Amino acid sequence: MTDKLWGGRFDEDITQDVLDYTLTVDVDVRLVFADLWQDIAHVLMLGAGGIVPGEVARALLGSLLQLWEQNERGELRLRPELEDVHFNIEQMVIEELGREIGGHLQTARSRNDQVSTDTRMYLRRVQLDAVAANLDLIGVLLAFPEEELLAILPGYTHSQAAQPISVAFWKTAHASMLLRDVRRLRDAFGRTDESPLGACALAGTSFPLDRELTARLLGFGRVLSHALDATSARDYLIESAAAFAIGGNTLSRMAEEVVMWSGHEYSLVEVSDAYATGSSIMPQKKNPVVAELARGRAGRTAGTLVQLLTMAKGVTLGYSCDLQEDKPYLWHAIDAYLSTLRITAGQTRGLRFDSARGEELCWDNFSTATELANHLVAERGLAFREAHHVSGALVSALLKRGATLRDTAAGAEILAGLGHPVAEPVLARIFAPRNAVAGYVSPGGTSPASVGAVRDELNEAVAGHAAWLDETRRRIGDAQAAAFDAAREVAGGADLGKALDRILPTLNGGLS
């Protein structure tokens, strides 16, 4: 027999190499809070159901609360030789209370339901943090000053100047995309927020568990009933990784625009000095390194999604150790995503757009050629295809002369030659980028009125998500406070049944 917690049927211990290869304490550090909270909920349930004697439950709770305090003080250390967080905590309890009492902790539970419960508890916290960070960034984008409603940027298609847009239009576009990332995170939260606890190893147990009680004590929205599914499922985590990967891509695309547009050739935007660094050799450089890293870091979130899909695809139902590979990369993805969200909010706050430059690029690159076609349709009754042709012929002729739409004298002359005379001042009005932006009044368009309406819609959505976030965080926080209150009362000598009866009305009773 070895002295491992599982050592009964073993004559020999694992080698150091095997321990190093299998251990996961460095990853599990993030799960300590969840594991202890879960232990407390589990013991309250075992005590309430008479599955362990009242005095045993009291002693276990006392020991677990001490470990909680120790962890809060930053003094709880996981020992690598004990493999993972679950064995570490069980061993700590046994060391304090002895095997006769401490050894009751793992009654009617397995590390298989335990690890998924911990991971879901940590992940839902991350999902909520990600929703909050997205809402902050969206708030920054939507707080644009009024003058940005008519601050001009070239809008691009195929990386070619296409039509003028406003800075506010660009900001609200990213806010609109980010709001979908929020909805994806909320969807993933919905399927993460289910309690696998009580599934045990894979098949349930002969003990009369109250799975609804533990789910409520852990602040879960519902119980994930089927024991084999509950211990095997990793789709909640892959789905979260997908939400992080897609969110990482959203941020990366925005970062790409900032990088490109802050380059000398565009000079459309400048990042504040605090978000750029210089070169060791070239004194003139101001490199937008934060945006570059945000773009590059999307590789981590995308990579994690692929890693998880690949890791899980061949795992038959029931726990296999492959599934232990679900956490390390996910942690990297979480760190990459959250840090990028937060730094992007700071960077965005300090972006300075050069709208005179934006207007210049629009003029120089024929961005308002469509406006002439629209004018010929609206004022002269031409079919759009016909009008498109006239405007295209004008562009072609101007290009041959080395001129642009600014040259209204040349423009008027060419158009007269084409049989569609338009007076010079009219041309100047038609081609002015600001007029084009002001005129795009269709719903969702770039005009100030349309952007204002979209901003109102987006702000309303933000308020709805913020209310949901507060309520959800409160629900989880209340459950934690109640579970710990009951545990402290029982550890201090109170009757377990009475302590639970007192807190139960404060817990989410409407598990779906």
- Known catalytic residues are 158, 279
Contact with ligand ARG (CB under 6 A) among 1, 281, 282, 321? 321
Q: What are phi and psi of 194, to 5 degrees?
A: -130, 135
270 DSSP 8-state letter? E
- By beta-carbon proximity to ligand ARG, the closer residue of 84 and 90 is 84
Contact with ligand ARG (CB under 6 A) among 111, 211, 388, 465? 111
Q: In angstroms, rounded to a whole number, what is the distance separating the alpha carbons of residues 396 and 435?
A: 23
Name the minimum Å distance from CB 471 to ligand ARG.
31
Name the minimum Å distance from CB 87 to ligand ARG.
8
Contact 373, 393 (CB under 8 A): no
Q: Which of 84, 352, 47, 62 is nearest to 207 (CA)?
A: 47
Name the minimum Å distance from CB 323 to ligand ARG.
5
Tell me if 324 contacts ligand ARG by CB under 6 A.
yes
What residues contact 274, with CB distance under 8 A and at least 6 apart?
346, 350
Name the minimum Å distance from CB 113 to ligand ARG.
9
What percent of the chain is helix, strand and coil (3-state, nearest 5)? 70, 5, 25
Tell me if 308 contacts ligand ARG by CB under 6 A.
no
Contact with ligand ARG (CB under 6 A) among 319, 353, 366, 440? 319
Tell me if 341 contacts ligand ARG by CB under 6 A.
no
Stretch that binds ligand ARG, among 204-212, 265-273, 282-290, 316-324 (CB under 6 A): 316-324
Tell me if 367 contacts ligand ARG by CB under 6 A.
no
Q: Which of 240, 244, 237 is nearest to 312 (CA)?
A: 237
Quick one: how many helices (H) and strands (E) in the chain? 21, 6
- Count interface residues toward ligand ARG (CB under 6 A): 9
Stretch that binds ligand ARG, among 55-63, 318-326, 424-432, 459-467 (CB under 6 A): 318-326
Name the minimum Å distance from CB 56 to ligand ARG.
24
- By beta-carbon proximity to ligand ARG, the closer residue of 281 and 321 is 321
**What is the b/e burial string over 19-39, where b = at least 16 CB atoms within 10 angstroms of the residue's CB?**
eeeebbbebbebbbbbbbbbb
Stretch that binds ligand ARG, among 109-117, 155-163, 293-301, 464-472 (CB under 6 A): 109-117
287 forms bridges with which residues in the sheet?
277
What residues contact 490, with CB distance under 8 A and at least 6 apart?
44, 47, 57, 58, 61, 496, 499
Stretch that binds ligand ARG, among 321-329, 343-351, 444-452, 463-471 (CB under 6 A): 321-329
Stretch that binds ligand ARG, among 55-63, 256-264, 317-325, 469-477 (CB under 6 A): 317-325
Tell me if 118 contacts ligand ARG by CB under 6 A.
no
Name the minimum Å distance from CB 355 to ligand ARG.
53
Which amino acid is present at 442? S
Name the residue with tokens 């003029």. 363
Contact with ligand ARG (CB under 6 A) among 38, 63, 112, 480? 112
Tell me if 1 contacts ligand ARG by CB under 6 A.
no
Contact with ligand ARG (CB under 6 A) among 84, 239, 371, 489? 84
Stretch that binds ligand ARG, among 110-118, 124-132, 330-338, 488-496 (CB under 6 A): 110-118
Cβ neighbours of 401 (radius 10 Å): 10
Please give the full DSSP string across 118-180, using - where no structure is assigned: HHHHHHHHHHHHHHHHHHHHHHHHHT--GGGGG-EEEEEETTEEEEEEEHHHHHHHHHHHHHH
Mask of contacts with ligand ARG, 263-302, x by CB under 6 A?
Answer: ----------------------------------------
Q: In angstroms, rounded to a whole number, what is the distance separating the alpha carbons of residues 122 and 326?
A: 13
> By CB under 6 A, what part of segment 21-40 binds ligand ARG?
24
Helix axes 235-262, 289-312, angle to 10 degrees: 160
Contact with ligand ARG (CB under 6 A) among 45, 60, 115, 254? 115
- By beta-carbon proximity to ligand ARG, the closer residue of 83 and 270 is 83
Contact 399, 364 (CB under 8 A): no
Tell me if 323 contacts ligand ARG by CB under 6 A.
yes
What residues contact 59, with CB distance under 8 A and at least 6 apart?
97, 101
> By CB under 6 A, what part of segment 149-188 binds ligand ARG?
none
Instruction: Write a three-state SS string for 219-251.
Output: CCCEECCCHHHHHHCCHHHHHHHHHHHHHHHHH
Residues of the shown chain interacting with ligand ARG in the complex, contacts defined by CB under 6 A? 24, 84, 111-112, 115, 319, 321, 323-324
